[in-house]
Amino acid sequence: MNFQIIFIAGPQGSGKGTQGKKLADKLHFLFFGMGGILRQIQAEDVQFAQRTSLLNGGTLLPDEIIIEVVKDRLASVPTNQGIVFDGVPRRIGQAEFLIPFLIGRGYDAMATVFIDLPREESIKRLALRAQNEQRADDTVDAIERRFEYYDEMMPPVIEYLKRETKFIEIDGRPASDVVEKAVDVALGI
C-alpha cells in the first residue's frame, strides 16, 4: 500500500468513522475526523461555536469554514504524515479545494474507500448510535436533513473522487471486523 491520503466516504451510519480510525491506527496515519474536530473546536471556542451553531441541527457548515479548519489543522502536520480523512469533502467545492491543496503539499498517492450501505440499514444504525452516544446531531430531524444533504451534495463529490483518487467500494452491511478485513485487502495492507 503506497497511499499517503485515504478518504473514507459513505452514507451516515456506514461505519466510516470507525473504519477510518482503525485504518489510521494501523497505518500510523493522522485521523482527520471532521465532525469530531468541529465538535472539539465548538466546545473550546465560543466565537466559533456561535458561528457554527447550525451544526447541531444537522446542517452542513459553509465550505469557507470547512476550508479554514482544514488549512488551520493541517498547518502543523508534517507533509510526510499520512492522513485518513473522514467527513470531508462533503461538497464539490471542498473536494475541488482539498485535492489540489494536498497535491500542493506534496501528496500524490490518494485513495477513497467508499463504504456503501442501504438507507434502511443506515437509519437503524443511526438510531442505535443516538441511543448509545446521545449526540446532539443524531435527532430524527437532523438525520433526515443529513440524508437530504447527502443525496444532494455527495454524488458530484463521489464522481470527483472517482476521477482524482484510486476509488474502492466496500459493502458496509457485514459486521465491522468483516468490513475492516475487506478494506485491508482492497488497500493491500
The tens-digit pLDDT sequence of the chain (189 residues) is 689 999 999 998 899 999 999 999 999 999 999 988 988 888 887 777 666 665 555 567 889 989 999 999 999 999 999 999 999 999 999 999 999 999 999 998 999 999 999 988 988 888 787 777 666 666 777 778 888 888 999 999 999 999 999 999 999 999 999 999 999 999 999
What is the β-pairing status of strands 83-86 and 166-171? Answer: unpaired
**Which residues have a Cβ under 8 Å from the Cβ of 124 and sit 6 or more positions away?**
13
Q: In what order do the strands lie in the sheet with 166-171?
A: 30-33, 83-86, 5-9, 110-116, 166-171
Q: What is the CATH number of the domain that holds 18?
A: 3.40.50.300
Supply the range of the domain harboring residue 14. 5-185
Alpha helix ranges (H) inside 31-175: 34-44, 46-51, 63-74, 92-104, 119-133, 140-164
Count CB-CB contacts under 10 A for residue 77.
Answer: 13
How many domains does the chain contain in total? 1
What letter would DSSP give residue 5? E
Q: How far apart are CA 158 and CA 89, in angstroms?
A: 9
Q: Rounded to two decimals, what is the model's pTM?
A: 0.88
